[in-house]
Amino acid sequence: MYLVGSPHPNKVASEQTLAALIARQEKLVSDAEVLQEILHRYAAIERFDAIQPAFDALLGLVDELFPSELENVQGPKTILLGKYELSARDAIHLAVMEQRGVQRILSFDQGFDRYPNVRRIWSA
């Protein structure tokens, strides 16, 4: 959302990090929960005009979008009960990552640093 959102300190870092990942031809993946987060955030602040550009940006960048599946809702339960102090949304992302064998996440959310076997990428 930093890519299409209002000016923010993380906007330039997001652009630079994505550019570096693309230049290295890294495979970029996301999950359907990110689309839900876009809907939730922009509806909450009544920025309906930003929804389509945010969808376009995400879908234009990723090589694969993982669907939401039953396992992605049951897995977070274990993560949330594991004393990692993560949000339910973060737990869903981590459950999808575990299911798909993804070990790195592009995020400014430091909460992901508390979870084992996941490396957070936040700058180029």
Amino acid code (one letter) for 37: E
pLDDT at 82: 87
CA distance 124 to 76: 29
- Give, for all 124 residues of the chain, the pLDDT tens digit: 787 777 888 888 888 999 999 999 999 999 999 999 999 999 999 999 999 999 999 999 999 999 988 877 788 888 998 888 999 989 999 999 999 999 999 999 999 999 998 999 987 5
pTM here is 0.81
Q: Residue 62 is which amino acid?
A: V
Which residue is associated with the tokens 């990723």?
Answer: 62
According to the model, what pLDDT value does residue 124 have?
A: 56
Token pair in block for residue 44: 């909450």
| Maximal C-alpha separation, the chain | 38
Tell me how far apart the alpha carbons of residues 11 and 120 are, in angstroms, rounded to a whole number.
Answer: 17
Task: Look up residue 55 and give its two tokens.
Answer: 């969808």
Mind listing the domains of the chain with CATH numbers?
9-121 (3.40.50.1010)
Question: Residue 70: enclosing H or E segment and its boundaries?
Answer: helix 70-80
